[in-house]
């Protein structure tokens, strides 16, 4: 008798029970509906539904539509919401769901920072009143540094794109760049997503074991500390008022370990 070959289980399929505050940023509105629709058939999930709604709310806006009327639903759809009806036993709930946009630096969290591209990150930074890297608060810088390698430099316009300089080397190394003009000077912010790294596990029972920390993730690099030729000078220093204070280069910034509870959740959806 021939045996039926079993299809391999898709380990990438996300369910409510495997969903996290980080992985929820990878799913879309239709995925949320699918997970809820299948999940509420599980008694354990029904009893803890508010917990799962809280988790989904960290990445999505959820509206409880009280009026089960097509005109009301269509009004929410025009605002970008996906509207669906969820049946829990003998009760029906109509919800509108929309992914939270990441438009401002205050929208960045430790959970979503690795779920955007370097280009997207630089767009968000550019919207921050054009102030550059130093205009960001320390907490925002720490969030960004938890997911991206960041380098900055401030140079006169005519020196930024110098052949063989820092700009060229960073672009060749896969960094995206944002240029912010500051008078006759330009601040360049370079960003590249950090590779995924598994945290080292401690070995127990070994007297000579060494505790491995996370601080090395943000170790300051000096690869490009002297990125320009030493004999480079800027003409007419009096006109440009070039001093050590306004001529600066900052490389591969570091930060502290992230706080896993950085993002705050919204109120519960009424049952």
CB 24 within 8 A of CB 59: yes
Q: Which long-range CB contacts under 8 A does 42-49 form with residues at least 24 apart?
A: 45/16, 45/17, 46/88, 46/89, 49/88, 49/271
Query: Which helix or strand (DSSP H or E) is residue 147 part of?
Result: helix 138-147
pLDDT at 170: 96
The residue among 124, 87, 121, 90 whose CA lies nearest residue 104 is 124
The residue among 156, 160, 180 whose CA lies nearest residue 236 is 156
Query: Which helix or strand (DSSP H or E) is residue 177 part of?
Result: strand 176-182
Cβ neighbours of 189 (radius 10 Å): 22
pLDDT value at 9 more than 80: no
What mean pLDDT do residues 191-219 have?
Answer: 55
pLDDT at 224: 38
Q: CB under 8 Å to 186, separation ≥6 — which residues?
A: 154, 155, 156, 157, 160, 179, 180
CA–CA distances in Å: residue 74 to residues 33, 62, 96, 183: 17, 15, 10, 49
Estimate the share of the chain in helix, then strand, then coil, as percent rounded to the nearest 5. 30, 20, 50
Question: What digits encode the pLDDT tens for the residues 237-266?
Answer: 444 554 444 444 444 444 444 343 333 333
The residue among 111, 51, 82, 89 whose CA lies nearest residue 269 is 51
Question: What digits encode the pLDDT tens for the residues 107-142?
Answer: 999 999 999 999 999 999 998 877 889 999 999 999
Question: What digits encode the pLDDT tens for the residues 80-106?
Answer: 999 999 888 788 889 999 999 999 999
pLDDT at 68: 73
- Higher-confidence position of 190 and 211: 190
Q: Residue 78 — pLDDT band, cuts 50, 70, 90?
A: very high
pLDDT value at 153 more than 50: yes
Q: CB under 8 Å to 167, separation ≥6 — which residues?
A: 153, 160, 161, 177, 188
Mean of the per-residue pLDDT values of the chain: 77
Decide: residue 125, CB within 10 A, 0-12 exposed, 13-18 middle, 19+ buried.
buried
CB 265 within 8 A of CB 52: no
The residue among 114, 188, 108 whose CA lies nearest residue 151 is 188
């Amino acid at each position: 008798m021939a045996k039926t070959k079993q299809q391999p289980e898709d380990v990438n399929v996300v369910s409510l029970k495997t969903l996290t505050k980080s992985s929820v940023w990878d799913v879309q509105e239709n995925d949320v509906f699918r997970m809820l629709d299948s999940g509420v058939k599980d008694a354990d999930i029904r009893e803890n539904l508010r917990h799962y709604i809280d988790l989904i709310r960290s990445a999505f806006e959820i509206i409880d539509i009280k009026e089960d009327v097509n005109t009301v639903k269509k009004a929410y759809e025009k605002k970008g919401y996906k509207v669906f009806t969820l049946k829990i036993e003998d009760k029906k709930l109509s919800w509108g769901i929309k992914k939270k946009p990441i438009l401002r630096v205050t929208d960045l969290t430790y959970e979503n920072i690795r779920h955007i591209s370097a280009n997207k990150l630089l767009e968000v930074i550019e919207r921050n009143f054009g102030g550059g890297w130093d205009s960001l608060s320390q907490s925002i810088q720490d969030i960004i540094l938890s997911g991206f390698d960041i380098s900055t430099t401030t140079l006169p316009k005519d020196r930024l794109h110098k052949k063989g300089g820092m700009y060229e080397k960073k672009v060749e190394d896969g960094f995206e760049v944002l240029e912010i003009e500051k008078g006759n000077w330009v601040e360049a912010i370079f960003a590249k997503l950090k590779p995924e790294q598994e945290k080292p596990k401690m070995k127990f029972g070994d007297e000579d074991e060494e505790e491995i920390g996370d601080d090395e993730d943000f170790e300051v690099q000096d690869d490009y500390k002297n990125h320009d030729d030493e004999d480079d000078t800027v003409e007419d220093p009096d006109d440009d008022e070039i001093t050590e204070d306004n001529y600066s280069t900052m490389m591969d910034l570091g930060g502290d370990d992230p706080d896993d509870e950085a993002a705050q959740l919204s109120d519960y959806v009424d049952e």
